[in-house]
Amino acid sequence: MCDKNETLLINKNKELGRSVSNEYDELRSFRTWLKWMCVDQSDPFSACLSWFVFVLLAIVVPCLSHFSLACSDCDAAYNRPYDNVVQLSLSSVAALSFVCLSRFVKKYGLRRFLFLDKLCDESETVRKCYTVQLNSSLKILFIFVLPCFAAECAYKIWWYTSGGTQIAFLGNVIASDIVACILELTSWLYRTVVFFLVCVLFRLICYLQVLRLQDFAQVFHVDSDVESVLREHLRIRRHLRIISHRYRAFILWALMFITASQFASLLMTTRSTADLHIYKSGELALCSVSLLAGLMILLRSATKITHKAQSVTCLAAKWHVCATIDSFDSIEGETPVTRATCGQSFPECSEGSDSDDVGDEEDELDNTKFVPAYAYSTISFQKRQALVKYFENNRAGVTIYGFMLDRSSIHTIFGLQLSLVLWLLGKTIGIS
C-alpha cells in the first residue's frame, strides 16, 4: 500500500514538473529570443546573467539617467520635467513583467506554459493555426515596439545633440553623450520589450483557446454525443482556469500600475506651470501609448475568449431549438399540415439573401443561420436541455479572482476611470 502511494506521488510530481524540451523543436526561435534578451533562466549562469542585466537596465541606468542628467544647471529648454513619471512607469511595469516571466519559465517550462505539451490532443486545424500564430508572435511584438523605439531614438538623439548635457564622465563630452544615449535607449528598449513579451505570450495562449472554442463549436453541426460534448467543454474550462490563475496577478498589477501612471501624467500635465512642449512632453506621451497598447493586448485577448465562450452557449441553445423542432416535424410528418402563407406575420426568406449585408460584424459562431438537423432526434430532450442549462450556468472565460473579463467588465473599468479623470480635471483645471 505504501509503495502504491509513493508511486502515485512520484507520478503526480512528474506531471506537475517542467516538461522536457528539445533544443531543435518549434520553440527554438523563442528560446533564442529569450537568451538575447537575457531573460532565459534555464541554468544557474543564465539566471545570474538575467538578474544582472535586469538590475542594470531596469534600475541602475534609469536612476543614473534621472539623477545625473537632470539638467538642473543647464538651459531650461532641455530639462525633462516628466522624466520621473516615465522612468517609474517603465521600471515598475518591467519589474512586474520580468518577475512573472521568470516565474512562468522556471516553474512550468516554455512548452508547458504555452500548452504545447497538450497540442497533440487537438485537431489538425488547431495545431496548424497555432503553429502559424506561434511563428508570427515575434513579428507582432516588433510591430508594437519598433515605431515607439524609433520615436524614442529621435527624441534622445535630439536631446543629446542639442546640448542637453555637458557631463564628461569619460573625459570627452561627445563620447560621454554617445555612451549615455546608447545606455538610455537600451534601457528603454529592454523594459518595453519585456513588458510586451509577456503581453504577446498571453495573447498567444488566448489565441489557442479561441481556436479550440471554434473547433469545439463544430460538434453542434454534426451528430454528436452529449457526454463527449460535456467532457470537451470541461477540458476547455479547466485550461481557462489555469490561464486565469497564472495571469491574474500580472493583469491586476499591470492595470493598477498603468492606471497610476496615467493619473500621475494627467496630474502633472494639467498644472498651471506645466510646459507641454513636444520635446518635453513627447516622451511622456510615448510612454503612455506604449503602456496602454500592452494593456489593450491583455484585455482584448481576455475578452475575446469570453465572447467566444458566450457564443458557444448561444449556439448550443440554437442547436437545442433546431433539434426540438426537427423532432416534432418527424413525429407530425405523417399528418399533412396546411400552412397559412397569405396571412403569416413573418415572411419566409432564404438565408443567403442577407448574407452579403452581414460582413465581418457577425460572429462566426453565434450567427443567425439555423443549425442543420442530422440525427438530433436520437438525443433526448432532457439531455439537450441539461446541456444548455449547464452552458448557461457555467460561463467560461478568463477571470481575475472570480471577476470575469468580458465586454461588460471592460465597460465598467472604462466608466470608473473616466469618472476619476473627470473628477481630477475638475479639481485641476475646473472642468465640471
pLDDT digits (tens, 9 = 90+) for 142-175: 888 999 899 889 888 888 887 666 666 666 777 8
What span, in angstroms and rounded, lies between the C-alpha atoms of 88 and 85?
A: 5
Helix 173-216 crosses helix 278-331 at what angle (to 10 degrees)?
Answer: 10
What is the band of 387 on the pLDDT scale with cuts at 50, 70, 90?
confident
Q: What is the DSSP string of 239-250?
A: HHHHHHHHHHHH
Residue in this structure with the C-alpha cell 477540458, named with its chain if needed = 235
Query: Please, is 245 exposed, middle or buried when counting C-beta atoms within 10 Å of its C-beta (0-12, 13-18, 19+)?
Result: exposed
CB 180 within 8 A of CB 279: no
The larger pLDDT score, comparing residue 226 to residue 375, is at: 226
Instruction: Give how far the C-alpha of residue 58 lies from the chain's centroid of Cα atoms, to the nearest Å.
Output: 23
pLDDT average, residue stretch 399-428: 80
Which helix H or strand E contains 232, and what residues bound it? Answer: helix 226-269
pLDDT band at 15 (very low <50, low <70, confident <90, very high): very low
On average, the pLDDT of the chain sits at 77
Higher pLDDT, 106 or 254: 254
Which pTM does this prediction carry?
Answer: 0.81
pLDDT at residue 252, as a whole number: 92
Instruction: Please state the rounded mean pLDDT for residues 112-125.
Output: 83
Query: Of all helices (H) and strands (E), which one includes residue 6?
Result: helix 2-16
Q: What is the pLDDT of residue 196?
A: 93
Q: What are phi and psi of 419, to 5 degrees?
A: -65, -40
Q: How far is CA 215 from the centre of its chain?
A: 21
Cα angle 286, 291, 296; round to 5: 125
pLDDT of residue 428: 67
Of 271, 239, 237, 250, nearest to 394 by C-alpha is 237
Placement of cell 546608447 in the chain = 182
Mean pLDDT of 15-26: 49
Q: Where are the alpha helices (DSSP H) in 17-136?
A: 28-36, 44-55, 61-68, 83-108, 110-113, 124-135
Could you report the per-residue pLDDT of 231-274, keeping only the tens digit for each?
A: 888 888 898 899 889 999 999 999 999 999 888 888 888 877 77
Residue 201 in this model has a pLDDT that exceeds 50: yes
